[in-house]
Each structure stands twice: as structure tokens, then as C-alpha cells.
Amino acid sequence: MENQTQATNQIYLDNAASAPILKEVVEVMSDSMLNFHGNPSAIHQAGRKSKSIIEKARKNIAKHFNAQASEIIFNSGGTEGDSQILINAVENLGVTKIISSKIEHHAVLNTLLHLKKKHEFLDLEWVVVDEDGGIDYDHLATLLANTESKTLVSLMTVNNEIGNMLDLEKVSKLCKDYHAYFHTDAVQAVGHFNIDVEKTPIDFLVASSHKFHGPRGVGFVYIKKGIPVDPILFGGSQEKGVRPGTENVAGIIGMEKALEISMNSLEDHAFKVLELKKHLIGELNVLGDFKFNGKSGSLEESSYTILSVRFPVENSLLLFELDLKGIAASGGSACQSGSTKGSHVLGEILSPEEASKTSIRFSLSKLNTKDEIDHLVKIIAQVLKK
């Protein structure tokens, strides 16, 4: 069983923000830092050794997606990956229309708004989402059918706040039928679900290591072979010129190990975490009148890792009180946890009255236990009685 490196007195339920790094991952990273100290761009033996293990990691990571090694580019994570793909689409590929949704991660939304401000010709269109945050695929088809512009569709595989899952096959087929590029932020999906880019044609896919128990600050983008990508950083020819800068050797090796562990035990871990989510839903239903945001309460239509819970009352200090009791969770996206604006996702799909109620995202991992879930429910009951 993998070991986590977190405090034993805390119940950690914010894995969608950052999952605890595994002991096995730390070990391979430590070994790489001690034994592979050469710059991968150097031509001497030490540099060639570092370059060799990076290329081995690239090949192994690509295999998990039925991709070619040359289609994997290492970077710092999801935000950088989303930014590069979207900027490249407009400034290099000639895309003049981007179709997305208003419940995407801010790494996508803020980049789109930046591009719109910079390029007046860019047309942004938003696909309709229902009250559960589900994508209206008929509307997506209509938007694609009603354009002759060069188009890119950007929709996330798993919503980071409410866990809704995109029908990748349906969207990829629509994009293929209408000759549009397809970019997906798969940060919450990689390491938790199987994605085959041959079976499900995707042009651009973005992943972050720390969402599947790897190190923070490292990730990768999948870029379909034959699609040109310009760098957004300059200064070197690393990563085929797509992402200049000395590679994070230890981070890449750690990410490779974390993904290997996740994918090799995917079914067992998915079953375990799904049982924990099912148990939490059942206990909350007994405890009170809780609602589950989006489709997170569905065991079939949402990620098994995420449960977004809307409490019966508004309590702005609830998340803080849980923290004092040793429960780590999130009010939504961790990137926005310090914001007073609230969740843009919940604001988009809920009525103002429902959106004003307190919502907390509990995100589970294979390291959590049933005893932790039982303790969480006990703490929630205590806090609500105050």
C-alpha cells in the first residue's frame, strides 16, 4: 500500500487541489537528484544520463494514453499547458473562434478573456450548460455547424469543482465532423480514468502531476502529431522548442512514477474511492437535507473523486471550523479559495438563493479511509448543532 506524507492528525479531503505525494514517488525523485545531476542539454556523460531518463519517462507516459512519445511535452502543469495551447491556437494556428463553457477552470477562462482583449477578431461562444452543469451537446453541435471560421473547442474532461464528466467521444466526434480542434483540460482525469487518444481523437490534452499523487510544479501537454505549436517562453530549444528551459528532471521522474502507480492499479483504486464516496453520500443523506452540486451526487455521471456538498444553511465560517477540527477541504477551486467572489461554477448553475448557501467540495483519494469519512460526518453534525 502506498504511503502518504501528510500529518497523521489531519483528515485530508482536498485531493482535487493537490493529492499527497506518495512515498515511492519521493524515493525515485530523491534517487534522481542524487544520481542524475547533469543538465539534460549538456553533451557530456552526466548530461546524456539525465536526457536519457527524461526520454524514457516521456515514452512511458505516452504509453498510458496510446500516444507517441514525441506528442508529450513536459511543462510546469495545467495552467501553463492551457495557456500555451489556447494562445497557440489563436496566434499560430489561425483560430478565430473558440467554443467553451462558463464553468471551465480559470486557467482556461482567464486565458480566453486575455486573448479576446488582445485580439478583437476572436469570437468567443459559450455552450449552454444545464442546472446540473451538464454540457448541452446539441447546442455544441449547433455552434459548430453555424460557423465557417477556424474553430477550437475547449472543454474540460472532469470539472474540478462539481466533478461532472465530459463525454469525450461525443465531443471529439463533433469536432472531427466539423473540422474543429479539440482541447481538453484533463487535469482532474489523468491518473483516475483511462484516456486513449487513438480511440478518442483529441488534439490537445493537459495534465498536472500533483493531481495523481505526484510532485507539484510539473505536468505535460499532449499535442497531436503534425500540429505546430509555438513557445510562449523563449531562450532555449528544450522540449523540441515548444517549452524552453532546463527540464525538471526529478519532477518528471516523480510524475512518471506517480502515473505508473495510478494506472497500474486504476480499477482497484477507483472501486475503493467510489465506495468511500457512496458511503459519504449515504451518511449525509441520513444526517440532513444536503444537496449535491452539479452531478457530483451521481455515481455514474461524475468523477468518483469529487463530491460538492451544499449545506442547508449559509455559514461562511464552516470551512474554517472544519479546518480547526482537522478536516482539510475546499470551498470550490483551490485556486479561488481565498476569493470573496464565490464559485463562478456554482454561480452559473444555481439560483442566487441556492448559490448563497454554503458549499464545500470534498475530494477523495485512494489514501482516504472509511473511518475518516465517518469522522468527517461526525464533525459536520457537531458543527451544524452550534
Domains in the chain (CATH in brackets) are 11-21+265-384 (3.90.1150.10), 23-264 (3.40.640.10)
* Cα dist from 386 to 315, 343, 376, 379, 381, whole Å: 11, 26, 16, 11, 9
The overall longest dimension of the chain from CA atoms, in Å, is 66
Which is the catalytic residue, given 46, 335, 355, 377? 335
Q: How far apart (Å, rounded) are the C-alpha atoms in residues 16 and 99? A: 25
- Report the share of the chain in percent with pLDDT over 90: 84
pLDDT higher than threshold 50 for residue 241: yes
Q: How far apart (Å, rounded) are the C-alpha atoms in residues 318 and 299? A: 26
Instruction: Give residue 101's pLDDT band: very low, low, confident or very high (50, 70, 90).
Output: very high
Q: How far apart (Å, rounded) are the C-alpha atoms in residues 61 and 49? A: 19
Instruction: Give residue 188's pLDDT band: very low, low, confident or very high (50, 70, 90).
Output: very high
pLDDT higher than threshold 90 for residue 315: no
pLDDT higher than threshold 80 for residue 252: yes
Whether residue 175 lies in the annotated active site: no
Main-chain phi, psi angles of 98, to 5 degrees: -125, 130
Residue type present at position 89: A
Instruction: Give residue 335's pLDDT band: very low, low, confident or very high (50, 70, 90).
Output: very low
pLDDT at 8: 52
